[in-house]
Amino acid sequence: CFTGTPAVQKQIERLIAVIEKESLTPDEFSKDSIRSRIAQLLLLVARESKTTEQKLIKSPMVEKAVEHIAAHYGHPLSLSEVAAACYVSKEHLSRTFKQETGMGFSKYLTLYRLRKANALMRDHPELRIIDVAQRCGFSESNYFSKTYKKMFGISPMTKKKENDNI
């Protein structure tokens, strides 16, 4: 589910139509064309998501919480700790955080860590999965692998092998 501006939604629809057309007329260039369009699609969605996320966060408290997560995601983090850093109760932060981000604190933190892990594996293919997990704040590599697979549909090891082949 993606909610962007009507102009961005139109661009997405056009890219998907081109991808479908390319997949129906395979030739020696269609695979590269499809990859290129998928990359454009992902870039478009990423940019729009970032813009939308920035627009949704209105309160300085939630902005500070998000900044705290960004600065400390590699270490154990709790709602209580972040609330204390924002000088509010954990109940107030939890309620406002969910209203403004559309997800609870724990889910946001986990998704943030997984995105960072994905980028770390891409940028540092020499790192072992356990090292990536620890750097991104996961205390157990098994939990990291299970959560990663649930989010991205493939295991971190498979992703790492894909990155090595690029």
pTM of the model: 0.67
DSSP string, 25-74: S--TTHHHHHHHHHHHHHHHHHHHHHHHHHHH--SHHHHHHHHHHHHHTT
Q: What is the pLDDT of residue 53?
A: 52
Three-class DSSP category at 104: coil
Q: Using one digit for the tens of pLDDT, what is the confidence trace for 128-165? A: 999 999 999 999 999 999 999 998 889 999 988 887 76
Q: What is the pLDDT of residue 45?
A: 85
Q: Using one digit for the tens of pLDDT, what is the confidence trace for 71-126? A: 999 999 999 999 999 999 999 999 999 988 889 999 999 999 999 999 999 899 89
The total number of residues shown for the chain amounts to 166
Q: What is the pLDDT of residue 89?
A: 97
Q: What is the pLDDT of residue 129?
A: 94
Q: Which long-range contacts (C-beta less than 8 Å, at least 24 apart) are formed by 62-68?
A: 62/93, 62/96, 62/97, 62/100, 62/101, 65/93, 65/97, 65/105, 66/101, 66/108
Which whole number is the average pLDDT over 2-8? 69
The tokens describing 9, both together, are: 């939604």
Which whole number is the average pLDDT over 8-16? 87
Q: Using one digit for the tens of pLDDT, what is the confidence trace for 24-75? A: 988 888 888 899 999 998 888 888 776 555 555 678 999 999 999 999 999 9
